[in-house]
Structure 1
Amino acid sequence: KMSNNLDEVFMALSDQTRRDLVHSLAEKEQTISELAAPYDMSLAAVSKHLKILEKAGLLRRRVDGRTHYCSLRPEALGHALDWISIYRRFWNDKLDVLDNILTHPSKENENA
């Protein structure tokens, strides 16, 4: 299940418009009309993007009458961040080794 959820989260975030929508939702809860305002696309097109984010678990929708409010579910990013952090540690370790080599060259490197 976690693997499927990661696939859905990364697929949802693979589109720039959806990443922008997530960024916008990180600021505050918004209606679909408010979310659609900055884009030169139909409300239906923005709604399709929101449905993909919703399916991936990245947003929750609250309906009040005819108005749909969307808010970010930041906990849904947790597994993706955990997965990414493995590679952050990998590269930090590699960069620490490189930094050590550059700041403390061995005798062999000085004679080369």
Structure 2
Amino acid sequence: SILFGQRFEYGDKDFLNMKESLQSLISDQQTVSLVHFMPWLQYLPGDFFNAKKLFSNSNKLLSLISMFIDRKKRDVSDIMDIDNFIDAYMIEKNKQDKACLSTYLDEDSLK
């Protein structure tokens, strides 16, 4: 709720998908690290090292996060009550843009 500004119910489909993807990413991380050191292993038939599963779950998680960011995206220049990380990030990005300062704050970094 701190990141997205909303509370999730236990039966919420988005919450369950996010939870499942995170659990899978954490549990498969150890076996996939071998693919990082030897990238050619990902081209073997099958999914012996769970690399394809990891990439699928990370893409699913990124699409869920993008969906939440798109829902929250709005003009935050007049908001005084900051209740989540996305609002705080967008307000700081707008401040940097208005001051014409060089910054790494952009929407891709938020995702």
- What is the TM-score of this pair, normalised by structure 1? 0.30
More strand by share: 1
RCO comparison, higher one (Cα < 8 Å, 6+): 2
- What is the TM-score of this pair, normalised by structure 2? 0.30
More helix by share: 1
